[in-house]
Amino acid sequence: MGKRLFLASTDAAAQRPAAVEAFLSFCGGGCSCGGQVGFFKTVVKDPENNTRLKDLAAKKGLNPRDIYGVSLQEAVTYLNSGREAALIEEVLRRFSQLSAKFDPVLIEGADLEDVAAYVLQGIDAALAANLAAPVVILSGSGACLAASGVRYHRSQSAEVIAVVLTGAATAAEAKAIDILKDVEVIEAKGGDFSGVPPQIAPKVQSFVSTVVTPKRFEYDLIERARSSKMRIVLPEGDDDRILTAADDILRRDFADLSILGDVEAIKKKGAELGLTNLGKAQLIEVKTAPFRKDLVDKFFELRKAKGITPEQADAQLNDRNWFGTMMVKAGLADGMVSGAAGTTADTIRPALSIIKTKPGCSIASSVFLMCMKDRVLVFGDCAINTNPKPDKLAEIAIISAQTAKAFGVEPRVAMLSYSTGTSGTGQDVDDIHEATKIAWESLEKLYPGLALDGPMQFDAALDPRTAKGKMPNSKVAGQATVLIFPTLNAGNIGYKAVQRTSGAVAVGPIIQGLNAPVNDLSRGCTVPDIINTVAITAVQAQAEKGK
């Protein structure tokens, strides 16, 4: 990710246009970018007649449309129709196109001082957080207003690195306010910003975002999937949600799809639903597929030792989950997603029979990616193994860490219990102690350098203050990112409790430990759930193929 800086202002007296010019001029000659700093504005009022926007674009040899996310009118339409997520996605998409050409990029927030832009007050800080950009807040109307700007941006998970005061307020007055004590405060009296960029530049250069918003995670996930497209098979072509999700996936072009079902029925249903991209998918009727005989023969060879006959093999592949799994096994697809209309067993049983677990993995297990407001946590196992023994729990912990790493989450693994350290006794706690010991013994071979500790309670795993009192010497306590629950009962309750009470987006279950990715959907899944699961399966397939 390239370097970027987000300029936000609290009022018209903040003189944001002058600040933009100062930063662009500084980057043009005072840093290593060689004048190739980009400029991007999140929301623009009346872009067709915006002279300033046209001038800024011309200086970079671009069209005005290249340097902004959406117009103010478009933003209002998005928000008034309850489509805030789509607004953020569009701004991210437009920014991604610009940032591919420029590094660093200066981002200017919306003109919130404009009465017509009041509706955006709830979105500008969220855009900064989703763009993973450090924020400098410009304020011309007093230290209290600057403090309010910092508080608001932080409430949206944006990371503020400095405040610039352009009015009569002084840095000393600002530093007397608690929330500004850990923020650099710079005075730019009379709108003289010449000394501001050199002071802030080191912070921008060293900045590493610690925030991962759900929308940012989803966007990055889909971009990763698009970087090397995989083919995913969807066996449930008679489900409207599957077809609707497939249409959007094909529109966004981040995976190739094979959809199983009655081909004419799929086409008819697609037309009824107004779907325009299904023609890009490979539509397959399992009973008449041109490669059916080859799959039947391969399936018979795989299962004949189990007593299956050629006739039984042929009949078994009338089931679309078995057929789709054989497509993955035969290399006709890179992964499979199913379960919208069936049970977990319907999806997993063919995978365990045909694809099987990886060498060194004795079981398949699952994790959920829990997209919190400002980070992603990994919860396992919440969907498959009912009451794993200590050796299996250790295995689940290590492979969950590997899954976390594959999705950009730095793994720090907490083995959860109702007891932290040596504070409790009982067989359940002893099992976690044993699982932790087995995992430690396996780390050098399976995951050198992995931070793993336990047993610990949920609060000790995530809350630094609790961790300091209960496990002060742990490298995991207080900063865990991968949480391993002792049983399916605990894990399933845990992820749903967090999902429903915190508003977290639960992505999964992601099945891990198989030789090729096969993932299960909930029967209550939504279209976004399906889209995310296909993207996850594609990224897993990339990892399996070393891409």
- Residue 153: closest CA among 131, 191, 127: 127
350: number of Cβ within 10 Å: 27
Give me the mean pLDDT over the 94-120 stretch. 77
Residue 112: is its pLDDT beyond 70? no
Q: Per-residue pLDDT tens for 367-397?
A: 999 988 888 999 999 988 899 999 999 999 9
Cα 64 from Cα 320, distance rounded (Å): 50
Using the predicted structure, report yes or no on whether residue 3 has a pLDDT greater than 60. Answer: yes
- The per-residue pLDDT for 29 is 44
Cis ω before 388 (30° cut-off from 0): no
pTM exceeds cut of 0.85: no
Maximum mean pLDDT: which of 9-13, 190-194, 232-236, 473-477 = 232-236
Q: Tokens 């050198």 appear where?
A: 448
End-to-end Cα separation, the chain, in angstroms: 18
As a whole number, the mean pLDDT across the chain is 87
Which range, of 111-115, 247-251, 450-454, averages the lowest pLDDT? 111-115
Nearest 5°: the CA angle 480, 544, 524 is 65
Q: Would you call 310 helix, strand, or coil by DSSP?
A: helix
527 and 321 in contact (C-beta within 8 Å)?
A: no
* Cβ proximity of 237 and 266 under 8 Å: yes
Q: 420: how many CB neighbours lie within 10 A of its CB?
A: 25
CB–CB of 72/46 below 8 Å?
yes
pLDDT(498) > 50: yes
Answer whether residue 228 shows pLDDT above 60.
Answer: yes
Q: Indicate if the pLDDT at residue 295 is higher than 60.
A: yes
Give the Cα separation of 339 and 113 in Å (integer).
49
Length of the chain: 547
Q: Does 260 have pLDDT greater than 60?
A: yes
CB 16 within 8 A of CB 107: no
pLDDT of res. 389: 95
**Which positions ≥6 away from 219 have C-beta within 8 Å?**
89, 92, 93, 130
pLDDT score for 36: 74
**Residue 88 and residue 78: Cα distance in Å, rounded?**
10
Q: With a cut of 50, say whether residue 34 has pLDDT above it.
A: no
Bridge-based pairing of strands 376-380 and 365-371 is antiparallel
Domains of the chain, CATH where assigned: 4-211 (3.40.50.300), 212-356+516-547 (3.40.50.10950), 364-513 (3.40.50.10750)
Residue 135 φ/ψ, nearest 5 degrees: -110, 135
Identify residue 80 by its one-letter amino acid code.
Answer: N
